[in-house]
Amino acid sequence: MSTLRAWLSDPNPASRRQARLGQAWLAWQRIRRNRLAMAGLVIVGILLLVAAFAPLIAPHDPLVQDLSRRLLPPGTPGNLLGTDDFGRDILSRIIYGARITLYIVALVAVTAPVIGLLIGTVAGYFGGWIDATLMRLTDIFLAFPRLILALALVAVLGPGIENAVLAIALTAWPPYARVARAETLTVRSSDYIAAIRLQGASAPRIIAGHVVPMCLPSVIIRVTLDMAGVILIAAGLGFLGLGVLPPTPEWGLMISSGRKYLFEQWWVATMPGLAIFIVSLGFNLLGDGLRDVLDPRSASR
Amino acid sequence: MALIEIENLSVTFRAKGQEVRAVRDVSLSVGAQESYGLVGESGSGKSTILRAICGMAPVTGGTIRIGGQPVPTPRGRAFSAQVQMVFQDPYASLHPRHTIDRTLSEPLAIHGIGDRDARVVQALTDVGLPPAFRFRYPHQLSGGQRQRVAIARALMLRPRILLLDEPTSALDASVQAEVLNLLNRLRAEQGLTFLMVSHDLAVIDHMCDRIMVLQHGRTVEEIAHADLAAARMTTAYARSLFEASADRMLDGPVEPAR
Amino acid sequence: MSLLEVKNLRVTFDTETGRVEAVRGVSFSLGHERLGIVGESGSGKTMTGRSVLRLVRPPGRIEADAMTFDGQDILHASEREMRALRGKRIGMVMQDPKYSLNPVMTVGRQLTEGLRLRDGLGRADATAKAIAALEAVQIRDPARVMEAYPHELSGGMGQRVMIAMMLIPEPELLIADEPTSALDVTVQAEVLAILDGLVRDRGMGLIFISHDLRLVARFCDRVLVMHKGLVVEEIEAAHLMEAQHPYTRGLLNCLPRIGGPRAPLPVLDRAGF
């Protein structure tokens, strides 16, 4: 253990891999000192574990209905968080719902930022009419409310979870493009870009190798902070019958089905709401922590 | 024959409808293996001339020839292999997320040159850095060490001409001495031609054979090294620069101004 | 009696990589004179200057055996008492006016704000006093400068405004941290002359922090040479050329001189101390 630590913190790494792992280790050390970020990381970690081991953890099948036990309050023996209007166990549905939430979040997280980064860095690096064209395109996407745009896309593509994800990703990239472009504009005029340009590097090489690594931190931070919104849009689509379809235990869908009982049986909507709240909080805390760790301006410290 | 020839160079920046003429009708020529200095205060256009040579400033008039050939636009790889630049701020001129190894081997990759490991290690040795520094990141180096890396990077392609933009003004005095010595040694070893910019007349005097004094984008005076030391300048502005130079201040009686 | 007394000052930072000692036991006393603190980056000269105003941000910590200003203990003074000192009795000029002036306020407003809030002067009185201060730092058209925003000023002009701002409350001690490093040499000389005249006319104490040994020697009465958080040598400026410590000698010799030899410059032997 101590030899590994020495290897990681070696000021004179012997290979590229050691240098990179050493930097990652340093970042980890920094994030460990940030208590809120660690709280966020723990929440996201629990979400991952719960999703992975859902069948082992869940006390009931999330889909089995038992109308004799409908709308039981939290604390009922056997139904820790109560049951919904079909007598399904809310705790089990939340546990299985974590899988769907994670699936949506993961798919959006690998598609939207990539599109956004590409468009943003290209626009920022070249400037001129390329910038104008790409940014007006971005503006068009930004001009529509996200949910409406996602709705239109799902209406064309057809309902279902993959299409919902695709619709969300296609509506989620403009902010990333904006962030990446802003970052590129500051990086573009820096001396190290001038130096590599002077070495005869081509534009794709500069963008991919020199500009993107500088934009990545702010985009990653933005992605983690956006995750709460993604979960909510997915829920909204499900509610309108265009995303995840019932009886799949999706958190947003659960809230909308509990809406009818909000005053008498408050727990039906509140429990999945709390789940969304906690997971969103987790992503937000993590995003704030990552900002402190990844921000290039703090790297020199 | 002159290696660098600049004739009536003008550079005009346009921003928000305003025109700023940063360089006006400047002509100079630098012979092979010569060291030429540009001196002036901020806004004199001295750095802009270097940037114009590299195609990083809007040239609005005049010609730039390297080795008798007008420089192409865009500058292209052949130009990169001949002319390289060292920037003022070593904290800003190295990519913060690239290791020294990557910074040094990238020019080789761009130009398709093999044997990169050996050449990177050789380059580090040449600039007086231990090879163990190879996989460090810039933030793990001091300012002087970073500037050495920047010099090593500029020399990776074995250029004939090195443009030096205030290469030591961001460094401590003791580190400045080390870097200036390094540059002089490399110039002798590799037969380099220097075009150096500085606000510090003493540095330029130490490094350069001929010196051009610039003010507001115009040439004020061209002075040979011997004439500068003997204070044989012909213009009032060059003389005022000479008098205000920090190293003059201890000569004569130590007496506070006024 | 001395104006400022500092005994065994230490500034430490607790960081991820361990404890960093920026200043390791610096002592000096200052009367109504000009004291230069010289050192290279990382020598602790800036931290020493900031410690006097207790302007070291966490995780930095200031410790000292004693630190008194005009008889008042500033090591244990409350934050409230320090605020009463800062600006009013001890002024500070930083290196770059670009970062010290508020970019969205006109110079005039920044100059008069303190006068109106602290001293309760009326608009006309405050403006008159601010214009007088600008004239004192030899700004030719103070009325125009009063209306300008900081970005409309040149570096030398901005630095003069900073000095004027610091001088309005007529402090007894001025701490100038590299006040001319960002300026051109000809402007540098002018700003120094202004500073010098003000120190003489008003009998202020001055701590002049710089990396430039020769500049400090020309401008100050006494020089502290700092290296790695310690004072390696304290010397009368007039006798700087007879400095004994190898570090001081090294700093003096490593600068190129006009008309000097073309041989490699002497380099500091860092292993020597």
What's the pLDDT tens digit per position in A57-79? 888 888 888 888 788 888 778 77
B42 in contact with chain C, both atoms CB, cutoff 8 A:
yes
- Answer yes or no: do C185 and C131 share one domain: no
CATH of the domain at C46: 3.40.50.300
Collect all residues of chain C within an 8 Å Cβ-Cβ radius of residue B206.
Answer: 256-257, 260, 262, 265
Cβ-based contacts of B81 with chain A (< 8 Å): 200
Q: Is C215 contained in some domain?
A: yes
Q: Where a domain ends, among C147, C168, C189?
A: C168
| Residue B74 resides in a domain | yes
Question: Would strands B193-198 and C4-15 be described as parallel, antiparallel, or unpaired?
Answer: unpaired
Contacting B residues, span 92-131, partner chain C, CB-CB under 8 Å:
none
| Nearest residue of chain B to residue A9 (CA atoms) | B136
Stretches in chain A below the pLDDT threshold 50? 296, 299-301
CB of C49 closer than 8 Å to CB of C207: yes
On whether both C78 and C184 belong to a single domain, the answer is yes
* C272 pLDDT tier (thresholds 50, 70, 90): low
In a domain, B55, yes or no: yes
B83-86 sheet: strands from edge to edge: B83-86, B161-165, B193-198, B35-39, B210-215, B218-224
Measure the CA–CA gap between A276 and B172, rounded to whole angstroms: 55
Q: How many residues does chain A have?
A: 301
The conformation of residue C237, written as its DSSP 8-state character, comes to G
Is B159 near chain A, with CB under 8 Å?
no
Instruction: Give the amino acid at C35.
Output: L
**Residue C143 CB neighbour total at 10 angstroms:** 11
Q: Least CA distance to A27: which residue of chain C?
A: C16
Residues C11, C43: Cα–Cα separation, whole Å = 12
State whether residue A28 sits within 8 Å of chain B by CB: no
Beta-carbon contacts of B6 under 8 Å, excluding residues fewer than 6 positions away, are: B26, B27, B28, B29, B49, B53, B62, B63, B64, B65
Residue with tokens 């400037």: A127
Chains that touch A (3 or more CB pairs under 8 A): B, C
d(CA B138, CA B152): 13
How many domains are there within chain C? 2
Q: Which residues contact B58 (CB under 8 A, 6 or more apart)?
A: B11, B12, B13, B14
Residue reference for tokens 């020089």: C223
Indicate the residue type of B102. Answer: R
My answer on whether C29 and C145 are in the same domain is no
Q: Which of A13, A190, A197 sits opposite B135 (nearest CB)?
A: A13
- Which residues on chain B are in Cβ contact (under 8 Å) with A197? 56
Residue B105 located in a structural domain: yes
Q: Return all residues near C240 (Cβ < 8 A) that are at least 6 apart.
A: B250, B254, C213, C217, C223, C248, C252
> Would you give per-residue pLDDT tens digits along chain B (258 residues)?
689 999 999 999 887 677 888 899 999 999 999 999 999 887 788 999 999 999 988 899 899 999 888 998 888 889 999 999 999 888 889 998 898 999 999 999 999 988 888 999 999 999 999 988 888 888 888 888 999 999 999 999 999 999 999 998 888 888 899 999 999 999 999 999 999 999 888 899 999 999 999 998 899 999 998 888 888 888 888 888 888 775 655 554 334 333
Distance CA B124, CA B122 (A): 5
Query: C16 touching A, CB under 8 A?
Result: yes
Is the omega angle on the peptide bond into residue C264 within 30 degrees of 0, that is, cis? no
In our burial notation (b when 16+ CB lie closer than 10 A, e otherwise), range A238-254 reads bbeebbbeeebbbbbbb
By DSSP bridging, strand C173-177 and strand C90-93 are: parallel
Q: Does residue B255 fall inside a structural domain? A: no
Q: Are B163 and B84 in contact (CB under 8 A)?
A: yes
Kindly state the helix (H) or strand (E) to which residue B215 belongs, with its residue range. Answer: strand B210-215
Residue A153: what residue type?
L
Could you tell me which of C127, C106, C107 has the C-alpha nearest to residue C116?
C127
Residues C1 and C79 in one domain: yes
Residues C103 and C79 in one domain: no
Give the CA dihedral C99, C101, C106, C108, nearest 10 degrees: -160
Identity (one letter) of the amino acid at A145? Answer: P
In a domain, C184, yes or no: yes
Rounded distance between C-alpha atoms, residue A192 and residue B48, angstroms: 17
Cα A143 from Cα A257, distance rounded (Å) = 31
Among B73, B137, B156, B166, the residue to mutate for chain A (most A Cβ within 10 A) = B137
> Which residue segments constitute the domains of chain A, with CATH numbers given?
85-299 (1.10.3720.10)
Q: How far is B53 from chain A (nearest CA, A)?
A: 11
Q: How many CB pairs under 8 A join A and B?
A: 93
Its domain, for residue C190, covers: 1-89+170-255
Residues C45 and C154 in one domain: no
What per-residue string of b and e applies to A127-140 under the rule 16 or more CB within 10 Å gives b?
A: eeeebeebbeebee
End residue of a domain, out of C168, C186, C208: C168
Residue C272 counted as domain residue: no
For residue B7, list its beta bridge partners: B63
Nearest residue on chain B to C260, alpha-carbon basis: B206
> What are the residues of chain A with a beta carbon less than 8 Å away from any beta carbon of chain C?
26, 29-30, 33
C18 touches chain A (CB under 8 A): no
> Is the residue at B254 inside a domain?
no
Instruction: Look at residue B254 in the predicted model and tell me its pLDDT.
Output: 38
Contacts of residue B180 in chain C, CB cutoff 8 Å? Answer: 256, 265
Q: C72-73 and C66-69 as β-strands: parallel, antiparallel, unpaired? A: antiparallel
Task: Tell me: do C122 and C214 sit in the same domain.
Answer: no
Q: Is B200 on the interface with A (CB under 8 A)?
A: no
Q: How many independent structural domains does chain B possess?
A: 1
CA gap B199, C183 in Å, rounded: 10
Most A CBs within 10 Å, among C16, C41, C57, to test the A interface:
C16
The boundaries of the domain holding residue B188 are 2-248
CB contact B143 to C (< 8 Å): yes
Residues C3 and C81 reside in one and the same domain? yes
Task: Please tell me whether residues C128 and C202 are part of one structural domain.
Answer: no
Q: Are residues C177 and C80 in the same domain?
A: yes
Chain C residues with CB under 8 Å of a chain B CB are 40-41, 155, 184-189, 192-193, 196-197, 211-215, 217-219, 237-238, 240-241, 250-251, 254-260, 262, 264-268
Residue C182 within a domain: yes
**Res A301: pLDDT:** 37
Q: How many angstroms separate the CA of residue B86 from the nearest CA in chain A?
A: 8
Q: Is C262 part of any domain?
A: no
Q: One-letter amino acid identity for B135?
A: F
pLDDT of residue B123: 93
Neighbours of B218 (CB within 10 A): 15
8 A C-beta contact, residue A78 and residue A59 = yes
Which residues on adjacent β-strands are paired with residue C90? C86, C173
Q: Is the residue at C261 inside a domain? A: no
The Cα B222–Cα B245 span in angstroms is 18
Residues of B in contact with A195 (CB under 8 A): 85, 87, 93, 150, 153-154
Domain boundary among C168, C198, C220: C168
- Cβ contacts below 8 Å, chain A against chain C, sum to 4
pLDDT at C9 over 50: yes
- Burial environment of residue B185 by CB neighbours within 10 A (0 to 12, 13 to 18, 19 or more): middle
Task: Find the CATH number of the domain harbouring B183.
Answer: 3.40.50.300
- Does residue C176 share a domain with residue C68? yes
Residues C122 and C144 in one domain: yes
Burial class of residue B159 (count of CB atoms within 10 Å of its CB; 0-12, 13-18, 19+): buried
C-alpha span between A46 and C201 (Å, rounded): 70
* Torsion sign, CA atoms B240, B245, B251, B252: positive
Residue C160: exposure state from Cβ atoms within 10 A (0-12, 13-18, ≥19): buried
Longest dimension (CA), chain C: 63
The answer to whether the Cβ–Cβ distance between C256 and B205 falls below 8 Å is yes
- Torsions phi, psi for B147 (to 5 deg): -65, -35
Enumerate the residues of chain B whose CB falls inside 8 A of the CB of residue C155.
42
**A contacts of C16 (beta carbons < 8 Å):** 26, 29-30, 33
